[in-house]
Amino acid sequence: MMNSRLPIENADTVSLVCALLARFPELTSIRSLLGEGTLRLTFAVKQRLDRAAQALLAEAIDDHASGFHALSRGEYGTLRVDCESDRGMTFVHVTRDRQTFCKEELDLMAAFFAERFGEALVRTPVEPDRFEEDIAAADEAASYAVEALRDPTQSKSLVGFREESHVLVYFLKSRKKAKASTRR
């Protein structure tokens, strides 16, 4: 009997995504969408943002990203901001192209959300006894994680997210690319 299972993805990628989520407690989830060539970063805010606030937030994120890339890297590709709100929460999804996204941009984005939303930004508690060496090692692992997510040889999309004190990473099954309608 032939084994029809797909090959197991590199365990290093899983470890690196876990390290990325551990390093950035502001991130609720990260999703790599190979078919689109994008990464989707999700931040959670403990307040409802109306449409006007969502539009202002999207504009501010775009301004920060474009300023960062103008100063350091030149042009950048996809940047899309989508929000899902209910009575007391808003999930902000920032979608970036994999090729021009970098760890330094993630540093900027995490700092932007922390400054803009303060205590309303959902963060995973960080251990108070973390040493500076641990932060430097976490930064290095986060850089490797972003590079792994940008790797064009990666064969599967994945999603990593927090559930209570655990980080979970799932590889997504590949589907035939369906033609999607454009939404504005």
pLDDT score of 70: 85
Whether the predicted pLDDT of 180 surpasses 60: no
| Strand ordering across the sheet containing 90-97 | 79-85, 90-97, 38-45, 27-33, 158-163, 166-171
pLDDT score of 179: 40
Whether the predicted pLDDT of 2 surpasses 50: no
Query: For 35-52, what is the mean pLDDT?
Result: 93
pLDDT score of 141: 80
More confident residue, 7 or 15: 15
More confident residue, 31 or 183: 31
Q: Which domains does the chain have, with CATH numbers?
A: 26-166 (3.30.70)
Whether the predicted pLDDT of 183 surpasses 70: no
Least confident of 76-80, 88-92, 135-139, 176-180: 176-180
pLDDT score of 46: 96
Whether the predicted pLDDT of 161 surpasses 60: yes
How far apart, in whole angstroms, are the C-alpha atoms of residue 147 and residue 107? 14
pLDDT score of 59: 96
Whether the predicted pLDDT of 114 surpasses 80: yes
End-to-end CA distance of the chain: 49
pLDDT score of 99: 86
93: left (phi over 0), alpha (psi -120 to 50) or beta: beta
Render pLDDT for 116-149 as a digit per residue (tens, 0 to 9).
999 999 988 766 555 445 777 778 888 777 877 7
Render pLDDT for 101-113 as a digit per residue (tens, 0 to 9).
889 999 999 999 9
pLDDT score of 157: 75
